[in-house]
Structure 1
Amino acid sequence: MRPFHHGAAFWTLGTLALAACGPAPAPKAPSSEDLATEDMGEMQPAAAPVAPAPEPPKLRLPCAENDLVGCTNGCNDAVVEDCVTLGAMYLRGDVVRTDPTRAVDLFRGACTSGSARGCMKLGDLYHDGTLKDDPTEEVTLYRKACDAGANRGCLAAGKAYLEGRVVGVDPVFAATLFTRVCERGNAEACLELGRLYNRGHGVRKDPARATTLFTKACQLGLDEGCLTADPSGEVAPPRQ
């Protein structure tokens, strides 16, 4: 009886199994779609370009009252207050030849653009009689200046309503305008308002309130307010 060799048997069985299974398949070459998919996976989205930060606006100081070139350039660049200053030059005639028509056009354009100074300059021309086409424009322009923040516009309009100059007398509205600018710290408006309270004109008569307003006018630096608050001149409140 021939001896049984275990190693040989295992070798023979392994060989038969491999033969039955056939040769191992060759690795599959990647297709073009696979390569495209890999490339897409490795690609990173492009970063959006960063826009440069806008430059801050350059600070532009108003032109000087005698700088004809600077004011002309500023006005041409739509710097409204430079147009007002330029108009004042044409009105004075000390830097450039006098041209009232040009001055009026510049003031009117500036006022239309919301310049309190422009409205005041134009209102003053109606007030002093330089412009006579429509006298009521004086008060209209002063009220526009007042609404744009000019204390003197409120004061001038209030006086016009108080005196009935080119408009109907309206002390109540005058008191309203004086109150507005007195609260802003305008000494003359406080003085005018105090007089109304002292007389009871347009407001209820209130001498104590009048004295308070005269004192405030004094404290704001108006000598007439000090004298009205204390006609003797012996007691003057401290100035602010």
Structure 2
Amino acid sequence: MSSSGTRGIAARWSRGLCVVMGGLLGAVAWGGESSQAPENARAPTRERIEARCNQGEMKACSFLGILLQGGNGVAPDKRRSTELFDKACQGGLASGCYNAGVSYDQGLGVPEDAKRAAELYDKACREGEAKGCSGLGVLLKQGRGVPKDEKRAVSLFKKGCDGGLALGCNHLGVSYKEGRGVPKDDKRAAALFDKACTGDMALACYNLGGFYAQGRGVAQDGQRAAELYDKACALGDAPGCFRIGELHQEGRGVARNLTRAAAMYDKACSGGDASGCYNLALLHAKGLGVARDDARAAELAGKACDGGLAVGCMALAGIHAHGQGVPKDEKRAAELYQKACAGGVAQACQVLGKR
């Protein structure tokens, strides 16, 4: 079941950049370039890495910066992390410039500063770091920190794509899909999404799945759409999990399988997709593909509502109004109907009008 909270291709292009950035910063990689440390640095301790950095080895500085982002058994220190990325950048390491750009772009340990991020991305790009080209392209497309320039953004996305960056290919595909900075061209967009998806860019697989589902730039093919959504999901894209769950629920492109649909909605919900939470709530409320569980349905509807999905608030309002899985609470129901109404659910407004 689709919903107003499902994110479309055009609305999700910038999220993809954040996902890739986060992956780069969270990975244990020397200088953000590979999974191997320099020679003679096997099983390096933080102290040894810091010593190498202090001796002027810029890859060591960038590697330590990545570790200090947290998640690798090292206490996070994002301010120090950004300082190290800056040091690596000043020492001539292009990936250090990119990493520092991410920190300023997202406000990681420093005040958010899109202008500074743009400068760092530009330097990284000019020094051969494809991710820097893509990062600067995003800011130019948004007009953040730099004057808006969609044509230049396209040229930078192309540079990133030509440099082997799947994310750059995806951004370029979105530009062709939207006709922003280039003439609209669905066939070209599909080819670029395909290239990026082949490079395991989850968002590109999702985007290409949408094209196959709609028959945009490619022949309509429900089975191929399902395969692509499945791949996007396997690569960690929560909306992709929602879409494959939806196809299994409706039997489009795949055999109808409510148990599989529920599992995919659960995965989507766990990944932060409000629509996945909402659809799983409906299955639990009706006992379709899963055991009927009113309390679980209420919990999931609450997650959907908290995730900004107005129909989730509407469902939760009904649950509280009737006491299904939760104690009956007319006051709470009224608050939720109001929230759903404000979110554009006409039925919620009608219910309020009768109260």
Q: State the AA in 1 paired with 2:237.
A: A
TM-fit CA distance, 1:133: 5.7
TM-score of the superposed pair, with normalisation by structure 1: 0.71
In structure 2, the residue matched to 1:154 is 241
In structure 1, the residue matched to 2:296 is 209
In structure 2, the residue matched to 1:100 is 186
- Equivalences for residues 77-92 of structure 1 within 5 A: 77-92=163-178
Q: Deviations over 1:95-147 (max 9, x none)?
A: 22333332222111100101011111111111112222643110110111111
- Equivalences for residues 18-37 of structure 1 within 5 A: none
In structure 2, the residue matched to 1:69 is 155
Q: Which moved more, 1:191-200 or 1:78-87?
A: 78-87
In 2 relative to 1, CA 121–236 (structure 1 residues): closer, same or farther, beyond 3 Å? same
Aligned CA RMSD, in angstroms, stands at 2.2
Bigger-Rg structure (1/2):
1
Report whether the alignment pairs 1:142 with 2:252: no
Q: Which moved more, 1:187-196 or 1:211-220?
A: 211-220
In structure 1, the residue matched to 2:34 is none
Q: Which moved more, 1:134-143 or 1:92-101?
A: 92-101
Gaps of 5+ in 2: 1-54, 60-91, 99-131, 142-149, 322-332, 340-355
TM-fit CA distance, 1:207: 1.6
Higher percent of residues as helix: 2
Q: Deviations over 1:174-232 (max 9, x none)?
A: 11111112123322111100100111100011122211211222222222112211225
Gaps of 5+ in 1: 1-50
Residues paired across the two proteins, number? 188
* Bigger relative contact order, structure 1 or 2 (CA pairs below 8 A, ≥6 apart): 2
TM-fit CA distance, 1:81: 0.8
- CA contact 2:215–2:221 (8 Å) conserved in 1: no
The SS at the match of 1:234 is: helix
Q: State the AA in 2 paired with 1:104.
A: A
In structure 1, the residue matched to 2:266 is 179
Q: Which moved more, 1:227-236 or 1:62-71?
A: 227-236
In structure 1, the residue matched to 2:145 is none
Q: 2:283 aligns with which of 193, 196, 202?
A: 196
- CA contact 2:205–2:229 (8 Å) conserved in 1: yes
In 2 relative to 1, CA 73–182 (structure 1 residues): closer, same or farther, beyond 3 Å? same
Distance 1:121 1:183 in 2: 21
Q: Deviations over 1:66-119 (max 9, x none)?
A: 212111111111121111111122223332233333222211110010101111
Q: Deviations over 1:8-50 (max 9, x none)?
A: xxxxxxxxxxxxxxxxxxxxxxxxxxxxxxxxxxxxxxxxxxx
In 2 relative to 1, CA 93–220 (structure 1 residues): closer, same or farther, beyond 3 Å? closer
